[in-house]
Every structure is written in C-alpha cells, then in structure tokens.
C-alpha cells in the first residue's frame, strides 16, 4: 500500500487519515461536552460539526477507494 508509486493515492490516503483524525477529535469534544451539562443548542452545534466531519471522512474514503479502483494502484 505504501509502495510510493502513486503520488495521488498517497495524497488521498493522507487526506483520509486527516479526516479520520478530525472526526475522532470532534467526537471526543462532543463526548466531553456531554459529560458536563451544556445547553441543547450548544450540543446541537457540536453534533452538527461532528456529523460534518463524519461526512468528510466518508467522502475522503470514497475518493481513495475510487482512485484505487480506477488506477489499479
């Protein structure tokens, strides 16, 4: 997987890893906020941010898989 023969794949992989990290950071932030008592509007905001991060994560994953499929790399 890390054969280094395809720069585009590496950059897609990097993007996916970043999106995953960001998503997990958002989820932890939401979990921490939930542990305290926060207003429901604030919780909704954090929840939106987390679901957007999740969406980005899935998109990055799709891009990566699509590239591998099309490129055969």
The footprint of Zn ion (CB under 5 A) covers 6, 9, 71, 73
Q: Is-contact 53 23, C-beta < 8 A?
A: yes
39 versus 72: smaller Cβ distance to Zn ion: 72
Using CA atoms, how far apart are residues 67 and 73, in angstroms rounded to an integer? 8
9 versus 26: smaller Cβ distance to Zn ion: 9
Shortest distance (Å) from residue 7 CB to Zn ion = 8
44 versus 73: smaller Cβ distance to Zn ion: 73
Q: Is-contact 34 10, C-beta < 8 A?
A: no
């Amino acid at each position: 997987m890390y054969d280094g023969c395809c720069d585009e794949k590496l950059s897609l992989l990097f993007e996916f890893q970043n999106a995953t990290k960001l998503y997990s950071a958002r989820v932890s932030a939401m979990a921490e906020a939930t542990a305290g008592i926060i207003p429901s509007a604030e919780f909704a905001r954090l929840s939106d941010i987390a679901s957007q991060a999740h969406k980005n994560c899935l998109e990055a994953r799709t891009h990566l898989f699509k590239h591998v499929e099309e490129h055969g790399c």
